[in-house]
């Protein structure tokens, strides 16, 4: 199954959490505003936080009348180099953006060192910047960064929320006659992991196709005509 490309392809935990994003991307909520220019998507592993983070820059830019966002993706890693990573963002933020804002995606932002996190707070004060961050450990993110951000709870969604995705996988594999109850049981075993849910439903499709295959016994050759 292809990676999500729009907000509607994303499975959210709840309608209120989805509304936090859609309010920004349809421009019904001013953003950035009042010193808040960050979005922190937090939750357990595998729920699709990074997928959503990658979609947001273009979605936000289009809501502001632009087309393509000027974005920079950083996969944060622990260690001394995280300070130089933030210094690099600071240098980028000093230039006039090619789109309405500079968009910075910081994947696993909690991995930054304390010094890097302090510098992140400072660079978030730069005009025309938007920071989109993901984390599995919201408690490890600096309070100053939290204060400058909209927090989006991206923990496991109820199994019923995944049914449209599951049915899309079934349709792509030409598999029918699978009940929602059966799908929900499969989804619940995956603990909210998007990867595991899609893999589990695809495995179901393989099993369904295998079970539906007819085994044709070879016909023995006719005896030779005397």
- pLDDT tens-digit map of 192-205: 999 999 999 999 99
Q: How many angstroms separate the CA atoms of 175 and 169, rounded? A: 9
pLDDT at 216 over 50: no
Mean pLDDT computed over 21-49 = 95
186 and 118 within one domain:
no
DSSP letter, residue 194: H
Q: Which of 153, 182, 204 is the last residue of a domain?
A: 153
Residue 4: C-alpha distances to residues 57, 88, 110, 211, 213 (Å):
14, 29, 24, 30, 32
Domains: count for the chain: 2
- For 157-192, write each residue's pLDDT tens digit: 999 999 999 999 999 999 998 999 999 999 999 999
Mean pLDDT computed over 55-64 = 96
Inter-helix orientation angle 15-25/49-63, to 10°: 40
24 and 123 within one domain:
yes
Domain that holds residue 175: 159-212
pLDDT at 104 over 70: yes
pLDDT at 213 over 50: no
Give me the CATH number covering residue 79. Answer: 3.40.50.300
Q: Which of 135, 153, 171 is the last residue of a domain?
A: 153
């Amino acid at each position: 199954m292809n990676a999500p490309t729009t907000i509607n392809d994303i499975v959210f935990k709840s309608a209120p959490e989805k509304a936090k994003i859609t309010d920004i991307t349809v421009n019904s909520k001013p953003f950035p505003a009042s010193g808040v220019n960050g979005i922190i998507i937090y939750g357990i592993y595998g729920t699709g936080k990074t997928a959503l983070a990658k979609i947001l820059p273009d979605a936000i830019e289009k809501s502001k009348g632009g087309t393509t966002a000027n974005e920079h993706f950083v996969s944060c890693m622990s260690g001394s180099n995280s300070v130089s990573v933030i210094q690099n963002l600071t240098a980028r933020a000093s230039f006039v953006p090619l789109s309405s804002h500079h968009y910075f995606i910081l994947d696993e932002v909690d991995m930054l060192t304390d010094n890097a996190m302090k510098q992140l707070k400072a660079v978030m004060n730069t005009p025309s910047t938007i920071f989109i961050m993901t984390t599995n450990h919201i408690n490890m993110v600096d309070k100053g960064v939290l204060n400058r951000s909209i927090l989006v709870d991206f923990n496991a969604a109820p199994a019923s929320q995944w049914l449209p995705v599951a049915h899309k996988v079934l349709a792509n594999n030409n598999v029918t006659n699978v009940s929602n109850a059966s799908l929900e049981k499969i989804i619940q075993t995956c603990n909210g992991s998007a990867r595991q849910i899609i893999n589990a439903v695809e495995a179901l499709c393989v099993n369904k196709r295998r079970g539906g295959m007819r085994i044709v016994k070879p016909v023995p050759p006719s005896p030779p005509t005397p």
